[in-house]
Structure formats: C-alpha cells, structure tokens
C-alpha cells in the first residue's frame, strides 16, 4: 500500500469512527482554552477538566486571573503536575494579555508562541480549536501513530507535522488532529497496540511480523 493510499484509508476509517469529534478540553473562551491546553502538558485531559472549573470560577478571563496571586493559582492547579511553572506562566501570560492585548488572546500563531508557557503545539491547538484556523498540532502520541502508520519517518514532532500537512488538505487538519487523538486513546494505545493489533495498523501493514519501533530524536 502506497503512503497516499494509507492516508486515504486512514482518513476514511477515522471519519467513520469519529464523524464529529468533540474538543476534549472544556472551555468557554479562547483564554480558557489557552490555559487548559497549557495545563494539559504532561497531564491528562480528564484531570485538566477536573481542575479548570475551580480555577475559572475565581478567574474566567485574563483581567480576573491577573488579580489572583500565583500561590492561589498553584494550589488549584497542583493536581495537573508541574504546577510551579504552570502557575507562574498563567499569571505572566495574563499580565501580557491585559497589557498588550486588552485581555484578549491574539489570533496569531507567532504571537501566541511568544507567551510564557506556550509552545508551538499549544499555540496550534488554540489556533485550531479556539479560532478555527487550519492547524495540525502534533504531540508525542500523534507522532507515534503517524510513524506506526507509515505517514512519516520524522524523528521529531516538527518533521511529523510537516509530513502530515503535506499528506492531508488544510481543510481536514483540525478535525483529523482530534480524530487521531481519539483513535490513539481507544484503539492504538502505546501498550495496547505494537503496530500489529488495531484495524488501521493491520490494514496498512498486514504483513508486519515484528512490533513496530518508533524512531526517536
């Protein structure tokens, strides 16, 4: 099966399984989404969704968050892990948003990436899920699946993102990003599938005899 054929099959299968994938992180605004995605680093979406209601109850926007002491933010988000760095980042980015953008989240990838605690992946998620702009956020899970499915040979998420963007049209990126996440959690998990178990893996590589080993940077 050629790479283009694998890509077409994968997209068709994911559309069948997840025709309308929901956004995993609960939020009511682009600011809340930005904070939630920041908190999701090395933390599950489930845990973030348990924590953010308490945080947003006392500060639902950048103006309100700026008034909350960093120590108070830390106490609330502590279950998410890396709380000292994350609480400092939330406080500082709130200050920048208020002072530079009147409390609004910039609808610009480069400006988002310049905010404290916000890397390319987080900025891409906000552009995609918050503003609806075509983006293909790639984390380690999507990177792993893209390698396993023969869509990339990239050794890092940056190269994998470029490869996936070349394979799929921009109008599919936002939906496909979510579909791969949900499929990876349900069928092609790190421990549950070694490249020879799930439907997509076995269809793309029916003759694969050994467990697939991902390329690492």
Active site residues: 121, 139
With a CB cutoff of 8 Å and minimum separation 6, the contacts of 127 are 107, 109, 112, 133, 135
Give the DSSP H or E segment for 123. Answer: helix 120-125
Give the DSSP H or E segment for 68. Answer: none
> How many Å apart are CA 170 and CA 21, to the nearest integer?
17
Rg (CA), the chain: 19
Q: Tokens 């103006």 correspond to what residue? A: 63
């Amino acid at each position: 099966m050629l790479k283009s054929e694998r890509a077409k099959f994968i997209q068709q299968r994911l559309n069948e399984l997840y025709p309308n994938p929901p956004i995993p992180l609960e939020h009511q605004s682009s600011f809340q989404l930005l904070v939630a995605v920041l908190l999701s680093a090395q933390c599950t979406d489930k845990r973030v969704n348990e924590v953010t209601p308490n945080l947003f109850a006392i500060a639902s926007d950048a103006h309100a968050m700026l008034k909350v002491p960093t120590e108070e933010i830390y106490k609330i988000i502590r279950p998410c892990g890396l709380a000292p760095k994350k609480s400092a980042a939330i406080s500082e980015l709130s200050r920048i948003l208020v002072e530079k953008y009147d409390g609004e989240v910039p609808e610009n990838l480069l400006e988002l990436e310049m905010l404290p605690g916000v890397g390319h992946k987080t900025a891409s998620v906000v552009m995609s899920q918050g503003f609806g702009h075509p983006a293909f956020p790639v984390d380690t899970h999507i990177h792993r699946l893209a390698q396993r499915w023969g869509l990339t040979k990239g050794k890092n998420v940056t190269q994998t993102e470029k490869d996936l963007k070349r394979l799929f049209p921009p109008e599919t990126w936002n939906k496909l990003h979510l579909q791969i996440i949900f499929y990876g959690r349900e069928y092609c998990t790190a421990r549950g599938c070694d490249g020879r178990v799930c439907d997509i893996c076995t269809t793309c590589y029916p003759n694969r005899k050994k467990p697939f080993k991902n390329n690492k940077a």
